[in-house]
Amino acid sequence: MSLTKEMFIKAVIDNPSYWKEAPNHFKNNKELALEIILVHKAYEAEFARYLPEELKNDKDFILSAVSHNAYIFPFISQELKDDEDVALAALKNDGIVLSFLSEKFKDNEKFVLEAVKSHGTALAYASDRLKDNEEIVMEAIKDVSYSFESASERIRDKKEFALVAIKDNGYMYKKVSERLKQDMELMLLAYMTKKSIVNSFPEKIRLQVQDLPPNKLVKHMEMLILQESLENDVPNKTKESKKIKL
């Protein structure tokens, strides 16, 4: 019985190493290769190590392949791993692939921004310089709140970023700067999404609220926030009155 394309595809899916043994008109066939790629889930990319060298070096084929399953990226030719078009196509499919890319891509705003738009957690693989890039970090935490923990120390000390992260995931309160851990608005916001976070509040606040039922805790925190706001307004009004007298 002669080998049919259906038999070839099934044989490769069952045993990827068969790809290297198959007749050339099957193993180097781009359409058949793409069919095999399409039936695999992203995390099942190991089969791609058996791709024929001819296909691993074919840019048009690889562009299509990584657009469907970016996780075959580690198995393509070194030349194409450094190709900007291929890298961008892979990142658009799944930003986590940034972890496989070279340092030049990890420190490039265009590629890292594409990565975090696709998958916010890709921020963890960006260069330290770009973990301090406000546009990139905001895109990342809007997509996946816990990517906030990969941001630079400077950004984790900025309230506008903390608010976005904590609103979606109260656990991110633990990742803000020590200064922002004193911010009662952030404490209350964190508590609203994760009740157990109260155990991470500064001791002075924790002792006041930890034994309160949820509704009373919220009211108490709101009262503290209002009180703090009024106290902060007093110096400002004093300064204004002094200016008027002058």
pLDDT score of 19: 86
Domain boundaries, the chain: 1-93, 153-246
| Residue showing tokens 């290769």 | 33
What is the end-to-end Cα distance of the chain in Å, rounded?
103
pLDDT in tens, 189-213: 999 999 999 999 999 999 999 999 9
State the pLDDT confidence band at 40, using cuts at 50, 70 and 90.
Answer: confident
- Measured in whole angstroms, the distance separating CA 30 from the mean position of its chain's CA atoms is 32
Name which of 44-53, 168-177, 183-192, 200-209 the model is least confident about.
44-53
Does residue 37 contact residue 68 with C-beta atoms inside 8 Å? Answer: yes
Does residue 67 contact residue 93 with C-beta atoms inside 8 Å? Answer: yes
- Calculate Rg over the CA atoms of the chain: 27
Higher pLDDT, 7 or 39: 7
Residue 67 pLDDT greater than 50, yes or no:
yes
| Residue showing tokens 């095999």 | 36
| Both tokens assigned to 19 | 């790809």
- CA pair distance 116, 203, nearest whole angstrom: 36
